[in-house]
Amino acid sequence: MRCSLLALCLLPILIACSVQGEDSPLARTTWRFALIDGQRPDSADARLTFEGSKVGVQVGCNRMDGPWRVDAERLIAGPLALTEMTCTVPAWDQEKAVSALLVATPRFAIDGNHMILQSSGHTAELVREGGPMERPTRTADGS
């Protein structure tokens, strides 16, 4: 009984630590992939878009979308729906890498118009749409 009462008391605190939608610095933003695991995207249309409670991802010839939220310094996306069109090998490999990155609840850091998403296996560097088009100068390890 005591554990149940404690869990009910802590629930609002835990929910407050998770930021969704309009309160997040990602809300209503679109980001262009500059690098995916150190390589330029195969498609010039590679984007990550946060609109309302949905995140949209376009890397190659397929599209992913689903719910998203931020918890501490992590992006939590999913479950993500994915179209399954046949792509060229480089685009397909990049789609798999971005999908694995997002499923891994990556850490994210924003510095001006640049964002880095990083998990233990993958890294993506992005530039906010409408921001400078140059490559981010800070790497995922902070150097």
Domains in the chain (CATH in brackets) are 20-128 (2.40.128.270)
For residues 88 and 18, give the distance between their C-alpha atoms in angstroms, rounded to a whole number: 37
Question: Which residues sit opposite 23 in a β-bridge?
Answer: none
- 3-state SS class at 20: coil
Task: For residue 107, give the H/E element and its range.
Answer: strand 107-111
| Cα dist from 68 to 76, 109, 141, whole Å | 6, 16, 24
Residues in the chain: 143
**SS3 assignment for 45-92:** CCEEEEECCEEEEECCCCEEEEEEEEECCEEEECCCEECCCCCCHHHH
Residue range 75-107, pLDDT digits in tens = 999 999 999 998 888 999 999 999 999 999 999
pLDDT at 130: 73
pLDDT at 131: 52
Chain Cα centroid distance, residue 104 = 10
8, pLDDT greater than 50: no
Residue range 31-76, pLDDT digits in tens = 999 999 999 999 999 999 999 899 999 998 899 999 999 998 999 9
For residues 34 and 47, give the distance between their C-alpha atoms in angstroms, rounded to a whole number: 9
* Tokens coding 139: 């790497």
pTM more than 0.85: no
More confident residue, 11 or 106: 106
